Amino acid sequence: TLLGGSYRDRIKMYCSIGGGAPMTPDEMVSKVDDALNAGFRAIKIRMDWGPHRRDSDPAKDVAMFTAVRKFVGDDIPLSFDANNGYSVSTAIRQGCQFEAMNIYHFEEPVAQYDYTGVKQVADALDVPVSAGEHEYTRWQSRDLIAQANPDILQPDVVKCGGITEMRKIAVLSDTFPKDFVPHQTLPTIGTAASLHVVASIQTAN
């Protein structure tokens, strides 16, 4: 890797499928099928309600997740990105339902800077809760860990300033410890940069 010796030579990548809010469950399943046919063996679905439409349609979210889980079976890791879309109480109720369907991780269940809310959700659920794409420095990531205590750190290599800063954030995931699952907003170059970091650290999952 660009960072010296590698910790691993294989990395499982998940396909993130967004824009779920206007879709039907069947339409989401069709997109998941395309991802599986492209070779992905892990999936994340995202509804894109956003914090300005908090708790818009929790029942639809569960129906969407249920349809995808039924389609892919139990062996495919399946995650859900709430995109900051729930209140704390709704996030906990949703998380309990997702847990029953073997969710892999629950991303940004509440507003991104509501660290108290993130902690409440993470403490209430067994499912791993992830956060960190909106923390642009190691100090912000430190505060996220100290105040919100998510199970998974998700820095974005483009947002946080590149490989060097992401590598420093990765050290925090080893120190505390947390699983390290990078967020990605820029395919191609961003993906390549993330791969170099992930290949070089122990906590990447």
Catalytic residues: 183
Using DSSP's 3-state secondary structure scheme, residue 104 falls into: coil
* Residues in contact with 158: Cβ distance below 8 Å, sequence separation at least 6, in sequence order: 185, 186, 190, 193
Q: Is the sign of the CA dihedral 153, 36, 199, 104 positive or negative?
A: positive
Q: Is the dihedral of CA 129, 12, 195, 36 positive or negative?
A: negative
